[in-house]
Structure 1
């Protein structure tokens, strides 16, 4: 076989050359980053979150890793608490079906999310950004067309945002350096806002006059001094009961219930009131019958 009949072999057919390393499929790598969690390398599950560097995570996996206090990989070493991630609000793709999860080539498969403004699929072919202030996701092309100033509002939810809130999702190395700077800017802004709140609270406390606070303390002390103990309470209750019994014995209504009580002898009753009874002197000498007893006074 070969080397006969005038055939001339080539050098690569006779000498073994060092094989080139296999190159990664760029399309497959890009799709993997947009469909899988950076932390667990599993498929993304809602709710989806992002870090300050623009990498995508399943929020549940980040929470579990933080609760278990396991060390983060190098790609997520900056995620130390829930403040370092932001939940996203992507727009679902109506063309995405269950078949797109398993079947079909990379060029024919649809992405699960799209840009709500211009309809571009979030598959990695087009640059997408997310706003840290509200979590809305849209394409960079749509944001550039709408953006008119440095500080504006979100075109989806109308929430205000600033230049450091724009995070590029799954960006290149240059984008990573820019996202790191923006992340430091947000941290500094958050610290300054906390200091402003603390200083405002201190100013409010100093603005209150000292005179209004002293009477409150004195009243509280006097109230504590006036609070009776259990022994004094029982003594007071016993005294009230005894006074009530004495007053009940002196009640004129109880006196009237006695058998020897007479209205004619009552000094507090008026003469008109006494004239209503037969014990009055005018009723004893009359000749007609009494209006109550109808006594005919028979002899």
Structure 2
């Protein structure tokens, strides 16, 4: 008597809807039949790499070693879903295999700083204080390199000695130049800060145009005003000025370099003037008292060393012959300390001293 044939049928559905569902029938299946054998039976002519195809049942993955018969999980007429893995290689959204999970975590963990808008940075230099970054408000000053400051903030920085190194050349009020900025009537920025303009041409003080400050009077005018109206006097207050009295505000790198060289030259001249003045004091003619043959003292001219002060006069060096040193020195100074009190006209002697 022939044994009864066992038939086990399952369905294989593909995740790709373009591939139709297949029905797989097994007759007298072997207990050693696994998912790996199922893969080979589905694609006998072109075997699919093991790592590129996997099966799931009710959303749960099945390993290649999972047996199909007998398996209570894979009942007859069960539907297995075949899923294809996309192999990376670049451009397809997959991984190349060179990256690790930590690479992606680190990439998103460190937030990249937002790039500053160059237009906003440029405008900020013209409407804000270079030190406090607060909106400009009167009184406003500039330094000799054309940087704008609120005077209150700059003075506070000098008093507290908190000026940054970049402004180390500002030592005091003499390094500040007070300027007059003309406000645009009724116009304010989004933060409530006032806006300024050229009083002659009406150009806005926003960095789109060149502006100069006249150090002799403090008025700020656009380069266009100086170009259109040729004058050696300020166009606002009519005070005379020279080209050296003009300082460009927020100039280019080359223009700031030229101002810096000019500042160093001024400092060098000032330092050389101080040295020559000190040398003049050292070579100053000094009177030296001396006596000769009991006559009146004469003046001797003694020049000091260039590298040091002049020789100090000592009475004993000019002492006449046969004179007592202590007595001779007492003529010029009080050579002995005593408890005697001196009046405004002469030294008093106690009674009986003679």
What TM-score do you get using the length of structure 2 for normalisation? 0.44
Do the aligned residues in 2 keep the contact of 1:164 with 1:183 (CA within 8 Å)? Answer: no
For 1:189 and 1:23, how far apart are their aligned partners in 2? 44
Please say if 1:25 is aligned against 2:130.
no
Choose from 168, 171, 174 the match for 1:80: 171
Structure 2 residue 252 is matched with structure 1 residue 161: no
User: Normalized per residue, which structure has more helix?
Assistant: 1
Rounded to whole Å, the distance in 1 between the matches of 2:206 and 2:182 is 13
Provide the residue aligned with 2:196 in structure 1. Answer: 113
Q: 1:186 to 1:164 in 2, by over 3 A?
A: farther
Helix, strand or coil for the counterpart of 1:87? strand
Q: Residues 71 and 117 of structure 1: is their aligned pair in 2 closer, same or farther, counting only changes over 3 Å?
A: same
Residue in structure 2 matched with residue 221 of structure 1 by the alignment: none
- Per-residue CA distance 1:78-111 (angstroms, 9 max, x = gap): 11111111111111112413xx2438xxxxxx96
Within 1, Cα distance between the matches of 2:211 and 2:249? 6
Deviation (angstroms), 1:22:
4.8
Tell me what 1:94 maps to: 185
Q: Does 1:36 align with 2:116?
A: no
Distance 2:247 2:93 in 1: 53
Correspondence for 1:128:
211
Q: Which among 171, 174, 180 is matched to residue 251 of structure 2?
A: 171
Q: Residues 110-153 of structure 1: CA distance to partner in whole angstroms, max 9, x if unpaired?
A: 961101111100011111111111111011121122236xxx22
- How many residue pairs match? The answer is 183
CA offsets 1:61-81 (integer angstroms, 9 cap, x no match): 11122222x142133121111
Structure 1 position 184, deviation (Å): 4.0
Which residue number in structure 1 is paired with residue 140 of structure 2?
48
CA distance in 2, matches of 1:52, 1:192: 20
Structure 2's unaligned 5+ residue stretches are 1-15, 19-88, 276-343, 346-354
Aligned counterparts of 2:126 and 2:197: Cα–Cα separation in 1 = 12
Secondary structure in structure 2 of the residue aligned to 1:63: helix
Q: Distance in 1 between matches of 2:127 and 2:248?
A: 16
Distance in 1, Cα, partners of 2:162 & 2:199: 37
SS of residue paired to 2:256: helix
> Is the 1:129–1:139 contact (alpha carbons within 8 Å) kept by the matching residues of 2?
yes
Give the RMSD, CA atoms, in angstroms.
3.9
Per-residue CA distance 1:234-267 (angstroms, 9 max, x = gap): xxxxxxxxxxxxxxxxxxxxxxxxxxxxxxxxxx
Taking the aligned partners of 2:227 and 2:168, their CA distance within structure 1 comes to 31
1:273 counterpart residue number: none
Q: 1:22 to 1:183 in 2, by over 3 A?
A: same
For the structure 1 residues 138 and 48, does the alpha-carbon distance in structure 2 shift closer, same or farther, using more than 3 Å as the test? same
* Closer/same/farther in 2, CA of residues 42 and 4 from structure 1, 3 Å limit: farther
Q: Work out whether residues 164 and 182 of structure 1, in 8 Å CA contact, stay in contact via their aligned partners in 2.
A: no
Q: Deviations over 1:14-43 (max 9, x none)?
A: 579999975320111112111211112222
TM alignment of 1:216-227, pairs within 5 A: none
- Partner secondary structure for residue 204 of structure 2: coil
Q: 1:143 to 1:194 in 2, by over 3 A?
A: farther
What are the residue-to-residue correspondences of 1:227-246 with 2, within 5 Å? Answer: none
2: CA distance, partners of 1:187 / 1:55: 19
Q: SS of the residue aligned with 1:178?
A: helix
For structure 1, list consecutive stretches of 5 or more residues without a partner in the other structure: 104-109, 196-223, 226-299
- Pick closer, same or farther for the CA change 1:184–1:156 going to 2, 3 Å: farther
Change (3 A) 1:128 1:10: farther
Name 2:262's counterpart in structure 1. Answer: 182
Point out the structure with the larger strand share.
2
Q: Distance in 2 between matches of 1:93 and 1:13?
A: 56
Map of 1:65-76 to 2, 5 A cutoff? 65-68=157-160, 70-76=161-167
